Amino acid sequence: MITLASDYFATAYMAGLSHIIGLSIIGATIAVLAGMSPSFAQGLAVGRAVEAVGRQPEAAGQIRSTMLIGCVVAETGGVYGLAVSMILIFANPFVSMFVDNLPAL
Amino acid sequence: MDNNLDFNIQTYHRIYLTDELWISINDTLISTWIIGGILIIFAIIARIKIKNFKPVPETRFQNIIEAMVEGFDNFVAGVMTRKYAFLGNWFFGVFMFLVFANISGIFGLRPPTADFATTYPIALTTVILMQYMGIRYNMKKGEYVREFFRPVFLFAPLNVISEFSRSISLSLRLFGNMAGGLIVMGLIYGLFPWFLSIGIPGGLSIYFDIIVGALHAFMFVVLSMYFIMMKVPQED
């Protein structure tokens, strides 16, 4: 009877853990997709900057520094997504929550 | 290959203050000590050699030092005005530390900036400096306080939150870029077969460690300056 109960417990434990880890990986993949839109926006910004340099080559230095600051600020959203996915993969809070709150057998 | 794919921070030793509270001697701390030591030794050497400096530079060392200091001072005076250019002393230190920390990945260290515990305090000093400069220079008619009640007084809590969210966005940007580069480089070193790992990781390392590192150290400093310039009165 005791072995049966512990077997059942181990199976349920592994099922719950793999459930949490698998869904976390899917969530991390979706979170990293936030990098799409900043890349798109940076492409637009750089294209406009190239147009501006072509129109006014003497202002190239100022345009370049302004474009770089804009690009780096626009990148923040993508970096937030990357941070969320890294937390979900490397420092998953739900796994430790699951392990800490196991019911006593 | 297993060890290469572990991106977490390795802890080597723990100094227990009490049972619950400890100081970890880990990768980040050791890299920070090495980088800080290099910078301090460089500063001491420059301080000793400065006695032999001539009004017209003769040695290569003096030329390099003068170019660095003058270039950064002019750059700070361009972004901030001459009135606040004394902050260049602080930002030069931050910039040198961040540059050395970001490119330390090519010397086999784990970059200290790939740890949120390094970038957040540096960004927090920027926010504290913002508040200090605002109180010091913008308090004459109470503009510093009035800024928080714009556009109407109901926005005061949101304005306070937005002040501190600057530190989070500033530090998370640097941390995310450096940690992302670290993970991509680790995957490339760990997962490429031997015939692909002859020249390709070197080129990618130049991008992820040197270009991204230098760019984001520079951007950290520039954005800090812009944030501080928002809080002080502009003279023109």
Decide: B28 and B112 in contact? Cβ < 8 Å.
yes
> Which residues constitute the domain of residue A8?
2-99
SS (H, E, C) B52-119: HCCCCCCCHHHHHHHHHHHHHHHHHHHHCCHHHHHHHHHHHHHHHHHHHHHHHHHHCCCCHHHCHHHH
Distance (Å, whole) CA B133 – CA A79: 29
Q: Is residue A58 part of a domain?
A: yes
pLDDT digits (tens, 9 = 90+) for B174-211: 999 898 888 888 888 888 888 887 888 888 888 888 99
Q: Does the N-terminal peptide bond of residue B151 adopt cis geometry, omega within 30 degrees of 0? A: yes
User: What's at A101, amino acid-wise?
Assistant: N
User: For residue A25, what is the domain's CATH number?
Assistant: 1.20.20.10
Percent of chain B with pLDDT over 70: 97
Shortest CA gap B142–chain A (Å) = 30
Chain B positions in Cβ-Cβ contact with residue A38 (cut-off 8 Å): none
**What is the tens place of the pLDDT at every residue in B14-51?**
888 888 888 888 889 999 999 999 999 999 998 998 88
CB contact under 8 Å between B222 and A82, yes or no, is no
Residue A15 lies in a domain: yes
In a domain, A65, yes or no: yes
Subunit contact B223:A73, Cβ cutoff 8 A? yes
Q: A76–B7: do the CB atoms touch at under 8 Å?
A: no
**Do B118 and B106 form a contact (C-beta atoms < 8 A)?**
no
Residue A83 lies in a domain: yes
Q: Which of B172, B174, B178, B224 to mutate to test the interface with A (most CBs of A within 10 A)?
A: B172
> Among residues B111, B105, B113, which one has the least CA distance to residue B207?
B105
Cβ atoms of A45 and A67 within 8 Å: the answer is yes
A53 belongs to a structural domain:
yes
Closest to B220 (Cα-Cα) out of B123, B100, B85: B123
Which residues have CB under 8 Å from B231's CB, separation 6+? B130, B131, B133, B134, B138, B144, B147
CB of B179 closer than 8 Å to CB of B119:
no
Query: What's the pLDDT band for B5 if we cut at 50, 70, 90?
Result: low
pLDDT at A1 over 60: no
By CA distance, what is B8's nearest residue in A?
Answer: A90
- Mapped onto helix, strand or coil, the DSSP state of residue B12 is strand
Per-residue pLDDT, B1? 39
- Look at residue A105 and tell me if it is in a domain: no
- Residue A94 domain-assigned? yes
| Number of domains into which chain A is organized | 1
- For residue B72, what pLDDT band results from cuts at 50, 70 and 90? very high
Interchain contact, A79 vs B215, CB within 8 Å: no
